[in-house]
Structure formats: structure tokens, C-alpha cells
Amino acid sequence: MFTPERWAAAFINAVSEGNPGSGANSGPGKLDDAAASAAIGEGLDLLRAVSPLVSAIPGSVSGTFAAAQLERMIRKALPAATAKQEIVVRFILLLIKKNLFRYIDAVIKEIEAKLDHLRGILPVTLESAAAPDKDFQESLKKQLMEKTSARGIKLDTRIVPDLLGVCRLRIGGDIIDASLRSQLQRMSVDLVRGVDLAAPQGGF
């Protein structure tokens, strides 16, 4: 079973240690968080740039033969690769040899998540029935940074027409639901249970 987490971790270890053959627990070449973050970011940018070019190659890009052909092309186009470029090339070629290049987007996404974590950036998904304006988004980011002590917020907005009002936040595995629909559903449950809605309930 393919696990993008393992491939992302291998890529991060190689890039942050500056050695394509480094193991996960190599000590001497280990960088501090700031240097590792910069190195991983550079490697990720290269991976993002090269992957679409490989995907655009006609035919099946998988297997040892395809990897060998691609490597010859790369060596001609890039005769003097930098250390980071070499790591990215070897990583892509290994995925191709093992018939796993089709998962490259999942690997990139996992690398992005690990890099965000290293940088103290909190990924948040904001779901709402209509597109939230910029002022609201900036205000929300500021509040979340204050409450979570995150260095930054990566806000992903999604339109969910079923939400009748307000919004829903997804932060990691947690969901903060402030939608009108959720409030109506709670009211329905209370009605079924025979709760006296006229009595103070503490609001929503």
C-alpha cells in the first residue's frame, strides 16, 4: 500500500541533510529548524516545477526503462545539477522506477503539510455558503493566530451551498461549526426531546 507520508519524510530527510543517500536518523548533517525549513522549501519548489514536465511526457512514465530514458534526457538538459536538483531528480526517478509517479501530487501535498508544521503554520479550512470577503478572512487569521500561537495561518476557503449561514472551520481533526444549519438541527433535536425552547438555553 502506497503511503505518501513515508515518501515525503524520505524527501525531507534527503533535502534537509543535503545528501541524497542520507538515512532518516543521520546526525552530523542535520540542520537546525530554520536552515532545514529553507532547504525543504527550495527542494519543494524544484519538485513542484519538475513534476508537471514529467507528467506531460507522452506515454507511460513508469518502470526502469522509462526512468533510464528520462534520466538521459535530464542529464543532457542539466549537465551540472546542483545538490538540490540532484536530490529532486533522483527522487522522481525512483518514483518512476517503482511505478509510483502517479502519486506525486499526494507526496507534494504531504511535504507541504510537514513544511507548514515545521514553520509553525496552521492549516485551516473555512467553509461557507458564499465567498467570505478579504477583511473577514484577515480578521479570522488574526484571531486564530492569537488563540493558537501559530506563526501563520494557511487559510483554504471552500463554498458549501448547504451551509445556510455563517461558516464552519476545520482545524486539523477539529470542526468548529457556526452555521445556521447546525443551529436549526440542534433546535430540531431539542423539539424531539421535548425541551422547553422558551427557557434560557445559553444561546448558540
Q: Could you read off the pLDDT of 80-120 as tens digits, one per residue?
A: 889 899 999 999 999 999 999 999 999 999 999 999 999 99
- Whole-number Å distance between alpha carbons of 136 and 186: 26
> Cβ(152)–Cβ(184) under 8 Å?
no
Give the residue among 190, 182, 192, 180 at the shortest CA–CA distance from 201.
190
Number of neighbouring beta carbons within 10 Å of residue 164:
12
- Grid cell, residue 200, equals 434560557
Say what the pTM is.
0.72
Cell numbers at 163, concatenated: 451551509
pLDDT in tens, 36-83: 899 999 999 999 999 998 988 887 788 999 999 999 988 888 888 898
What is the grid cell recorded at 4? 505518501
Alpha helices in 56-194 (DSSP H): 63-77, 83-97, 104-119, 134-148, 180-193
* Pairing relationship of beta strands 174-177 and 152-159 according to DSSP bridges: unpaired
